[in-house]
Structure 1
Amino acid sequence: MLFIFNSNKMFFLFILFFSTLISISSNSWFGCWIGLEINLLSFIPLISNSNNMLSSEASLKYFLIQSIASINFLFSILLKMIFLKNFDFNNIISIMINSSLLMKMGSVPFHFWFPNIMEGMSWFNNFILMTWQKITPMILLSYYFNKNFIIIIIMLNSIIGAIGGLNQTSLRKLMTFSSINNLSWMLMSIMISENLWIFYLFIYTFIISMMCFFFHMLNLFYINQLFFFNMNYILKIFFFMNFLSLGGLPPFIGFFPKWIVINFLLMNNYFFLTFILIMMSLILLFFYIRITYSSFMFNYMKLKWMNFFFKNNFLYLINFLSFFSLMGMIISTLIFM
């Protein structure tokens, strides 16, 4: 098994899943708010761990931030009901609703809680926070977004996500800023089409799940640990493919949804926005390639005697999927040509 849970955690995961369904299937803003609250209260027990002070601190911080965002969201929808026929307040109310949902998903400029909370959690909880916890706020955002405001947020997410990851030594913080950068692409894709957003989220979840599983298996938390361990080079190559795919390097599968978004932006004359997104992705690729290159080239004589032998067949399956993602991108490129 990927991660082992007791029955209590399985119950909270079940509630977490259904809270998202409650929010996205609700026909009123109040119903959406209730789903968000259930989601918050079901995720807190998954984070908290009485044996780990960092987890307890992370759960408290997460509760406070999400509560503030929920209060802002509830206040905004009440204002919307009061000023329903007053169009002068529509822009302000839409920005307030958008801001509370952006805070929920850890978007810039409300992202300062995100790296600290990620640092205090296990890889499985990080995986949930980077993927599943973004679904509800993003779908609610697609119902009522302020286009100009969201375009500014997309550019800020792209810039902060790329620059923030440059000087990080912690893998969890690196993945956090990578998630913030990918959030800009997801916001752009959900403005284009919900089908494109689902496709992007699926590819992103696929890559992140493989990386989080690998980090969990080897108990890796810092970049220098990637340089130390001595393992099968084939496994290592397949694993670092995920880094390059996450950065959006062609011909890996992570480039495919970005390619579709870029095509749409260019067809609609968003040249400056396209330029920002591509340049920031290049910065991401710079430090991903730097990590990959260093991991293969650094040679520690004192670790020559130490080798890792894996008996977990699931790890080989994950690495096969990494290779398959490369082949899938090449095939899809040939089809679209």
Structure 2
Amino acid sequence: MFSGLPFSYLFLSVMGTGTLLSISSIHWLSIWAGLEINLIGFLPLLVYQKSTSESESAVKYFIVQALGSSFLIFGSLMTFASSFTWDMYSWSYFSTLGLVVLVMGLSIKLGLFPFHYWLPSVMAGLPWISCLLLATWQKFAPLFLLLCFLELNQSYMLIYMFCLMSAGSSLIGGFGGMNQTQVRALLAYSSIGHLGWMAFAALHSEWSMKVYLMIYILISISMFGSLWASDSGLMKNINNLKTSTFMQMSIMLLLLSLGGLPPLLGFISKLLVITVSSNGPWMFILLVLIVGSLMSLFYYLSLFFSFFLAFSKKYSLVNLTMNLNIISVINTINIFGGVLILMMSLTTSM
């Protein structure tokens, strides 16, 4: 993907600059401008290989992001009309409708429920590196802007909106992946489910949401990096991945880690959110999140068992060789990092 130097790194720099501008700004006009700069830098990366599926995904992504930007600028204009300032900290002048429109615009850009329909279809036609950027870096600006909403305004309407979006995202992430056989669409629904957990974590503490986001990004980098390194960009089905035996098993274990199977690393982030929110008033929402995570874990386990049975027929366990390279070491850390964290926590508690 990065063979056309220096243009690919130029687009990455533009995309990163737009995200940093949006996060570091306190005016809605500069926040909107930063999101648009990020979109301008990301769109050329989507159509880099000039395939039909990438062009279709890029057009869908552009339409959705333009819709989210229109909601964002419309909500900021409504706040400007009431307060005569672009400052995002002027919450006393915010109208209810303007607040709802702003949250809707950021939710559309992020892919939260009920604006999640575009994410699986867009990710299904993209290469692995573009999927990685869409699942990780493109979440930073909208997610941290939503976190600023909660830090500056603790109104019941905003809390109810976050509870609805988090519960719906978790259920959609569980139901949507049940009948999926495409790896990209499966990871897209997994991303929607994790967004629900992040939105719910933001209701209780900022650091828990950030820790959850960092763990999700770490596992996603290993997952998409492994799929990209296995040279399976044209293969859609999980059973057709052409890779080494250790890489196949690590990919499946990373899927289980994304699903939150204990004691893997993905379980630690969910355990953290459950611990933080266990004393809160939203226990029913937490129960819905756990149910959605169990549904996600169900289809991950189904994929793992079907893959393992087909794998055991083809290979003998005696003849397995472990290819120790950089990706394998990173995958091992991501898979078994949860075991180390649990052992350390138990040791300190004793």
How big is each residue's C-alpha offset from its partner over 1:120-144, in whole Å with a ceiling of 9 and x where there is no partner? 1111110111111011001111222
How big is each residue's C-alpha offset from its partner over 1:93-118, in whole Å with a ceiling of 9 and x where there is no partner? 21110010000011121111111111
> Which structure 2 residues correspond to residues 36-51 of structure 1 after superposition, within 5 A?
36-49=35-48, 51=50
Cα 1:272–1:331 change in 2 (3 A) is: same
CA contact (8 A) 1:241 1:322 kept: no
CA positional deviation for 1:87 = 7.2
- Counterpart selection for 2:294 from 250, 265, 282: 282
| Aligned residue in 1 for 2:169 | 157
Aligned counterparts of 1:83 and 1:245: Cα–Cα separation in 2: 47
Matched, 1:111 2:116: yes
Cα 1:80–1:189 change in 2 (3 A) is: same
| Aligned residue in 1 for 2:154 | none
CA positional deviation for 1:311 = 6.9
> Which structure 2 residues correspond to residues 90-101 of structure 1 after superposition, within 5 A?
90-101=95-106
Aligned counterparts of 1:150 and 1:28: Cα–Cα separation in 2: 23
Letter in 2 for 1:34: A
Aligned counterparts of 1:129 and 1:281: Cα–Cα separation in 2: 21
| Number of equivalenced pairs | 332
- Counterpart selection for 2:181 from 169, 180, 183: 169
Letter in 1 for 2:30: G
CA positional deviation for 1:63 = 1.2
Farther-moved stretch of structure 1 (142-151 vs 104-113): 142-151
Farther-moved stretch of structure 1 (77-86 vs 45-54): 77-86
Cα 1:332–1:188 change in 2 (3 A) is: farther
- Counterpart selection for 2:265 from 253, 256, 277: 253
CA contact (8 A) 1:47 1:56 kept: yes
SS of equivalent residue, structure 2 residue 265:
coil
Aligned counterparts of 2:64 and 2:242: Cα–Cα separation in 1: 37
CA RMSD, 1 decimal: 2.7
> Which structure 2 residues correspond to residues 10-159 of structure 1 after superposition, within 5 A?
10-49=9-48, 51-84=50-83, 90-145=95-150, 146-159=158-171
| Structure 1 stretches of 4+ moved >4 Å | 2-5, 85-89, 228-231, 307-312
Please, what TM-score do these two structures have when normalized by structure 1? 0.90
Cα 1:230–1:199 change in 2 (3 A) is: closer
CA contact (8 A) 2:2 2:8 kept: no
Aligned counterparts of 2:229 and 2:31: Cα–Cα separation in 1: 37
CA contact (8 A) 2:254 2:331 kept: no
CA positional deviation for 1:225 = 2.1
Structure 2 unaligned residues grouped into runs of 5+: 84-89, 151-157
CA positional deviation for 1:154 = 0.8
How big is each residue's C-alpha offset from its partner over 1:4-59, in whole Å with a ceiling of 9 and x where there is no partner? 56210111111111211111111211111111010011100110136301111211
Farther-moved stretch of structure 1 (264-273 vs 282-291): 264-273
Please, what TM-score do these two structures have when normalized by structure 2? 0.86
